[in-house]
Each structure stands twice: as C-alpha cells, then as structure tokens.
Amino acid sequence: MTDRDRIVIVGAGHNGLVCAATLARAGREVVVLEAAAQVGGAAATREFTKGFRVSGCSHLSYLLDASIASDLKLASHGLKWARSGLRTVALALAGDHLVINGGKLESGTLSEGDRTGLAAYHARMLRFARVVAKQHNRRPPRLGGGGRSNLMGAAMLGLDIRLLGRDDMREFLRIAGINIYDVLEEIFESPLLKGALALDAVLGANLGPRSNNSVLSLLHRLSGQAAGGAGPAIPEGGMGAISEAMAAAARAAGATIRISSPVKRILLDGDRVAGVELEGGEKIAAGTVVSNADPARTLLGLLGARNLETGFVHRIRHFRSKGMAAKLHVALDALPAFARLPSELAGERLVIAPDMVYLEHAFDAAKYGHCSPDPALEISIPSVHDRTLAPSGKHVLSAVVLYAPFDERASSDAARRELQERALGVLERHAPGLRRQIVASELLLPADLEREYRITGGHWHHGELALDQFMMLRPVPGAAQYAMPVGGLFLCGAGCHPGGGVMGCAGRNAANAVLATERAA
Amino acid sequence: MSIKDEMGRKEHFRKAVWETPFHPRIAALNTLNEWHRWKDYTTADAFFDEQLEYAAIRNACAVFDLTPMTKHLITGPDALAFLNRLVTRDVAKIKLGKVGYTIWCDDNGQVIDDGTIFHLREGVYRLCSQERQLDWLTRNAFGFDVTIDEETHDVAGLALQGPTSCAVLKAIGCAGVQNLKPFEIGFYPFSGTELTVSRTGFTGDLGYELWIDPTHALELWDALFDKGKIHGIRPMGTHALEVARIEAGFLAAQVDFHPADQAIMTDRSRSPFELDLGRLVDFGKPCFNGRRALLEEKKKGSRYRFVKLDVEGNKPARSAYIYDKDKNVVGTVTSAEWSPSAKRNIAYASLHMPWGRPGDELWAEIYYQRELKWYKVMARCHVVETPFWDPPRKRTTPAADF
C-alpha cells in the first residue's frame, strides 16, 4: 500500500470509530488519531471523583443504530446493557408523579382525555419519527442537480412522507416545522405531562417549547425508538462502553487507533489532502482524511479558511453550534429519596419540568446569555442498574441541566458555581436531604464541554438540529454528502446527516461515501 | 464636507449624494449642466459636447474625474495570500510598482466584479472596482491577517487620456514619466505632496491615471489645465468615455455582465470564460473563489460566449437581439456604439453556446426612430477577435509627445 491509500480518521468519537471499523472491514488501511487519552469523544465514561464514574456528556443511549451494533458485533466486543426501555418519571413537587412508559401511563393522575391522548400522540409521533429514521442510513440527496441518484434520494424522502397515508401526511407536514408547545396544547390538559413531553423536544437544543423546530428535534430523539429500539438505555460501564466496543470492533478489523495524538492540522498537496500533522510535529501521509471533529473545528481550524472558498467558509462560520445544556454529576453516599417516589423507580429517567411555561421561562434567560434561574433537569442514576460505577452502597447521579447558553456572560467560574447551586437546589426541592448525601459534584457548562470534548460551542449534536441544518442542508448546503470541497477530505461526525445522538450512522454513511468516491475515481 | 468625523468615523450616510474634491472646477466647466449619480457621487455626463470630448481623447487629451471609483487599500502580512484567494489570477505576478487587471468570482465561478490591483509598495495593494466591495472583502478576510481600508473618498483620482497626456504630465513636473511602461506606477513630488501616476486607463489609448491626496486635488486640476492648454486638454464626461471604452474592448459591470452577488436568477450571471476573460483564470493556484466550479465548467463547457461584433450599416445595435440564419434568437447586445475612430459600427454581445464562432452568420435586429417614426433593420454581424481600437502609442515606451 502507498501513502495515498492510507485513510486517517481525526477523532475517535463513536462516529469516527464506526467509520474506521467500516473502512477497515472493507480492507482499507485506517489510522484513527484521538487527542484524548481515551476513545469515545462525547460518548465516554468519566471518573469525576475517586471511585465514581459517570457518562461525561451523553448519558442515555436512545439512538444507537441496531444494524451497526449487529454488523460490528458490539455485543461480542463487550457491550452489555445494564438496563433498556427506561420509563420516564415526571416529578411533581406535591408527589403526584407521572410514570410514563412509551404511550402508557403506569401511575399518576391524568384525565381520561389525557390518557387516550397520550397513547395516540405517542403512536403518531413514532410513525412520524420513522420517516426520520428511514433517512438515517441514506446519503442525503444533493440540492440542485447532481444526477439520478440524487433525484432518487429526494423521491424516496417524498415517498416516505406520502406512505404515511393522507391524514398522517397532512399532520406531518403541518407540525414538522412548528413548535412543541402548540402541538401539546392542542392535545393535553395536564401541565406536568406537557412539561415532561416538551422537555424531550428541547433537550440539548437552542430551543424553548415555543420555538419552531422543536417538533423536529423531538422526532430526531424518537427516531431510534421508531426504528425498533427499546427507548432510553444504559450500557454497563457508562456510555464509554459503547465506544470501547466500537474501538474493539475497529481494531479487530485491522484499524490502528492512537490515543493522546492530537491533530494540529490537515496537510494539503495542491487542492487535495496529503495527510495530517500532529501537535508533536509528526506527519502522517494519507490520501483520505475523515474528520470526526465538528465542521468548524475541521474546516476553519485544522484545514484553515484560506484553503476554502469564501462563500463556503461563510456558511460554515454560521453553522449554528452554540450549546445550551450543562451536565451535572453528583457522587452520593446513598440512593437519594425523591418525595413520594418508590425507591425502585429511582433508576428510571427522572425529569423535572413541571410545566411548559417553566421551561419557556428557563429558556428566556438563556436567550439573553444567562443560565436559567430555575433550571429543568433530565436525571439518571445509572448506579441503580450498574454497580461498577460507584463504590458499594453509594450512587452516582447524572443530570442534563437546561439551560446554560454558550456565552461569555454564562461561562465564568461564578456562573458555573451559581448554576450548580441552582441545579442542586432544584434537586433538593424534589429529594429533600439529597444535599447531605453529596460526596462530590461537578457541573460542566457548554464552555467546559467544548474544552473537554473539543466540540466547538459545546453543542452535543455538533450543531443545532433544525430544518435549515437538516439532511441535505447539514452541515451546510453543498457539503451534505460527507465529502468536503477539498479533495480527499470527509466529515463523519454529528455535524453531518443524520446528526447527533450516539447513533453511528454518520460514521458509517461517511465510510460509504469514501468508498463510493474511490469507485468513482 | 469631510466624509469622516473628528473621531475618524465614516459619515457617508449623512449626505445622499457627495461631490468629489474636483467638483468646484467640474461644475464651472459643465456648461451643459448634465449630471448623473455614479455610486454616491454626482458625475458629469458631458461638459460641452460629447463628440468633441471624445475627439479630445483620441487627438489631444481629456480629463475624467474617477474619484467615485471604489478603492480599497489592502495591507498586512497576508495581503498577497488574501488577494490570491479573492481573485482568479495569480497576484504574485503583479510585481512591485505594477498594476494588474483582474476579476473575482463567487464560489460558483460567477463574476462578482472586475477591477485593477495596484501593487503600490512592498505588501501594500490598492484594489479598484466598479461596484462597492467592502462586504465581500470583509467576508473574504476571515482567516487572514489583513487590513482593508475603504479609501474611495480619501484618494482623489483623475484619468488623463490621449496622445498628448504624457506631454502634459511632463509639463506639470513629472520628470521621466515618459519612461513608465503600460501598467507601471510612478511617484512624483507635486506641490508638497506625492502624486501617484499609473499608465492605465479605460480608453485603450496612451493615457495615465493620477492619484492624489484630496486636499491637493484642485491644485492638480489647475496645473493640468494650465500646462495642458497648449496640448489641447479638455474635460470629458461619461458619455465620451463610454465610446472609448467599447472601442478599447473593456467591460462594464451592470452593462456587459450582471454582478453575481446581485443576480437573483442563476442564468443572469456569467463566468470568466463566458465573458471571454479566461486568460485571467490561473488554475495553478490551489485555492481561489470559484476554482472548483470553473474547473467543472472547463470540463462540461460554458453556457455563453462573449463576442465583439462588427455590425453592418451605421445604426448602433443598442440592446438588439441577435439571430442566427434561421431567425432563432441566440443572444443579445450588451454595449453598442458607432466608433468614430475605427469607422465601424461596433457592439458586444452575449450569445448562447455554440454561437459566436468566427464566421457564424449572425444578425442584429436594430430599431431606430426618425421624427417619432420607428424603423427596423436587420444588420449582418461579424465576430471580431481583436479590439476595435489598438494604436501602437498605447504601448510605445518611452511615450511620445505628439
């Protein structure tokens, strides 16, 4: 093999690993270069205080593609599920919690209308999410020409929507671009139910319930379940275990993975990539470079704006990628007791979003650059299901905290302390006595996530999932088919179709794009 | 009124239409009192007789106020790299003290504007353009260590064009100016300041462009008209210049092509190849705006061809449709004039491919009026491959006095 045949993958996030495994299985020489001392990127397990480990960024698996898991034999490479099909518990201060399993209310008080509405809503949203799910493993069509395969791609998308049937199609087209607030107001009465359902639509996004695109964001989240997944799941050993299994699959297929090897820049020979240079100065020649880093870091950082055309640079600079969610990690010396919640439910997915106005107010502060005074939380206590994460008898709590804008005003040490206090305060309100159980805690703001996981803006999807940054527009028009304008350079991360969530599809689609480009050459 | 306030901030928005620093003299000489707006400046269409003004360009010399032309000073360590990504040609080949004509494109390889790059000093460039470009230049500057100063109002400019122009410059004290080669820049002391002279112009004749601090603008004007009287110097307006421009083979944005950044319909803009400017595209550079699209166009072929036409008869073919021999419309005329110097009826046209090959049978549909009655002629057109006006004195160095 020559240097031209070598493929370098920048970043061993889960998409980079899937891409590496796919290309290595196709017989390519693959070298993965990871800056951190472990693989996984934002799907990693982190020991934040001695003896307590937690999924550092993404903390529940919603979206892992089943065909990728089976193709890469992740189970035989060590991936075990501690628990799947988590229920959602909408916590109420008064103690009348709602326990929701898919479209079914398992306990709590709802009107008859809300109960039947919930079942119908859940079923319909899953049908809609299936349209999104069907696109996961397809290369998005190219807008404005580009031959028959692109026309076919666009036609397939149209067909998927048409196949919903007349009523569903009309409803899909009516709500796909609008906001979750209006949709839920049409159906439900219970503020607590609406708050919990709305949280699913805004989690991690730069959206409040009244923001358009929140329905699309929800459909993306549900698409894993729509494709046959069991709903939110917890891998044994934290989210890092998924990445470790993927890395093992890639190595087994022949890929080389080098950790602690940060790439400094992408090297060019004329208008084609020629390899990469590491921070230490080492140069690795390659005819193809696939970047798992986010679009801005890859194109404006590693490659450099001057090597790209101006209009393209302008679009990449304005790819919206400011994170909105913080991560709270708490080490506890005992299982916390949530008011009137049976302890066997403490390991479910607990949400604190008492109503949609609470969420909208939380978002209002963030819109203007400040952390929410009363944050909303998505809480998981994975140690209930996985005893490897905390010392015996002790527990670890992980929560997504909404909202924490990626903004200078909200990124200081004082802002971090303040949001941590507020989030712990909200927890304490719902689980009196929790504060006394705390062994250690940390809060990661989007600016911290940016630093820790090298994601521009600290956005866990690498960029907003909104209609204007979706499918053939992701990350930007003209670059939505994984190949970048510079010859031999590809993107394979969440900044590409089908976006964020630990899914693996972007990685595999990118690998297929690399192979298709080879064939066409 | 200065365009900057005491803090140095631009105050251009405070006035709808500006006057150039030469305005007091121009207003006094504009006996026809005919004006139009060129960008944000009032500009003379003609002073006394546009045909005599044109005659001065070709037979003596004429002065044109080009201060309103958009000018940007580009400096900083990355100035050259910045320009090379911006424009299609290799700016490294524009040596110190030289001027280069160029075009720039968007990502789709469609022409945004044309203009000239002056390599004034080591690493210091001036970009002159027809259209306002600050937004596009600022957008281009991301990732480069470069400073862009909009200096349209800060540099007064005059074109001095015609066979006696060199003699006039010598007379006002530009010693050795006759040795400037075409596209060369010289600096001369003048009235306590520095006068920058470039052997450039928009007329295709022997001629120069003069650049000076606006506070010395009137002194320069007075010196030219004082020493130039014996050399037949005249002021000229845009009408006279327009005839000379077309004879010389120069394009005008908004007339011969629609700037790509202003085009809404995708077929309204043109690539460099579609404007017969392929010579300005250097694919040896690994990255410039439009490179990929232009490589693709090279492979697939262009949509349009830009041609010079010699039209039979004497009626200018302004805005005429062009037909093939089977009376199919194959394009339109973009500029047309009767050329007094070439004694030919000349035109530029944008034609659909493949028309416009030398020898193609083409017809222009020309309408004209006599005492309010309209007439139509179908005039045979011949594709011409050289400029209509290209005298040796344009190139001869040292320049003669005439």
For tokens 């269409």, what's the residue? B45
Residue A105: per-residue pLDDT: 97
Cβ within 8 Å of B, A 292-311? 300, 304-311
Range B324-348 average pLDDT: 97
Range B49-64 average pLDDT: 98
From residue A236, alpha-carbon distances to A48, A114, A239, A245, A334 in Å are: 17, 35, 8, 11, 20
C-alpha closest to that of A71 among A301, A328, A245 = A245
Range A199-218 average pLDDT: 96
Which residue of A lies nearest to B291 if distances are taken between CA atoms? A309
What length does chain A have?
521
B139–A268 CB contact, under 8 Å: no
Best residue of A142, A309, A316 to probe chain B, by most B CBs closer than 10 Å: A309
Residue B2: per-residue pLDDT: 62
Question: What are the pLDDT digits (tens) for A279-304?
Answer: 999 999 999 999 999 999 999 999 99
* Residues of B in Cβ contact (< 8 Å) with A313: 142-143
* Residues of B in Cβ contact (< 8 Å) with A305: 142-144
ipTM: 0.93
| Structure tokens, A457 | 């803006």
CA distance A142 to A151: 8
Domains and CATH numbers, chain A: 3-44+58-80+236-320+460-520 (3.50.50.60), 116-226 (no CATH), 321-453 (3.30.519)
Cβ within 8 Å of A, B 141-170? 142-144
* 3-state SS class at B15: coil
B286–A309 CB contact, under 8 Å: no
Q: Is the pLDDT of residue A328 over 60?
A: yes
Q: Is the pLDDT of residue B351 over 80?
A: yes
Residue A173: per-residue pLDDT: 95
Domains and CATH numbers, chain B: 12-69+153-248 (3.30.1360.120), 71-150 (3.30.70.1400), 303-391 (2.40.30.110)
At B240, which helix (H) or strand (E)?
A: helix B238-248
Q: Is the pLDDT of residue B6 over 80?
A: no
- Per the model's pLDDT, the better-predicted residue between B267 and B71 turns out to be B71
Contact B167, B206 (CB under 8 A): no
Which of A473-477, B24-28, B106-110 is least confident? A473-477
Q: Is the pLDDT of residue B1 over 70?
A: no
Residue A212: per-residue pLDDT: 95
Cis check: omega of the bond before A498, within 30 degrees of 0: yes
pLDDT band at B10 (very low <50, low <70, confident <90, very high): confident
Cβ within 8 Å of A, B 228-267? none
CA distance B312 to A1: 66
Count the Cβ atoms, other than its own, within 10 Å of residue A447: 22
* Residues of B in Cβ contact (< 8 Å) with A311: 106-108, 289
Q: Residues with Cβ < 8 Å from A238, sequence gap 6 or more?
A: A44, A45, A46, A53, A54, A55, A382, A386, A389
Question: What are the pLDDT digits (tens) for B179-219?
Answer: 999 999 999 999 999 999 999 999 999 999 999 999 999 99
* 3-state SS class at A164: coil
Handedness of CA B224, B225, B227, B229 (dihedral sign): positive
A309–B142 CB contact, under 8 Å: no
Q: Is the pLDDT of residue B7 over 80?
A: no
Query: Could you tell me the end-to-end alpha-carbon distance of chain A, in angstroms, rounded to an integer?
Result: 17
Q: How far is B81 from chain A (nearest CA, A)?
A: 8
Residue A146: per-residue pLDDT: 65
Best residue of A268, A271, A302, A310 to probe chain B, by most B CBs closer than 10 Å: A310
CB distance from B104 to chain A under 8 Å? no
CA atoms within 13 A on the CB side of B242: 18
Residue B16: per-residue pLDDT: 87
| Structure tokens, B240 | 């006279």
Contact A301, A503 (CB under 8 A): no
pLDDT band at A230 (very low <50, low <70, confident <90, very high): confident
CA distance A426 to B70: 60
Tell me the H-state helices in A335-435. Answer: 356-367, 413-430
CA distance B401 to B230: 12
Question: What are the pLDDT digits (tens) for A240-293?
Answer: 999 999 999 999 999 999 999 999 999 999 999 999 999 999 999 999 999 999
Q: Phi then psi for B15, rounded to 5 degrees?
A: -135, 135
Out of B86, B142, B288, closest to residue A313 by CB: B142
Contact A98, A106 (CB under 8 A): no
Q: Is the pLDDT of residue A145 over 70?
A: no
Which residue of A lies nearest to B136 if distances are taken between CA atoms? A310
Out of B86, B136, B286, closest to residue A271 by CB: B286
Q: How far is A301 from chain B (nearest CA, A)?
A: 9
C-alpha closest to that of B239 among B27, B39, B56 = B56
What's the mean per-residue pLDDT of chain B?
96
Out of A306, A307, A310, closest to residue B107 by CB: A310
C-alpha closest to that of A327 among A378, A269, A367, A393 = A378
The single-letter code of the amino acid at B245 is: R
Residue A147: per-residue pLDDT: 75
Q: Phi then psi for B75, rounded to 5 degrees?
A: -135, 175
CA distance B370 to B387: 31
B286–A311 CB contact, under 8 Å: no
* Residues of A in Cβ contact (< 8 Å) with B286: 268, 270-271, 307
Range A13-35 average pLDDT: 98
Range A391-398 average pLDDT: 97
Strand B61-65 vs strand B233-235: parallel, antiparallel, or unpaired?
Answer: parallel
* 3-state SS class at B146: coil
Question: What are the pLDDT digits (tens) for B139-189?
Answer: 999 999 999 999 999 999 999 999 999 999 999 999 999 999 999 999 999
* Residues of B in Cβ contact (< 8 Å) with A270: 286
Question: What are the pLDDT digits (tens) for A40-71?
Answer: 999 999 999 999 999 999 999 988 999 999 99
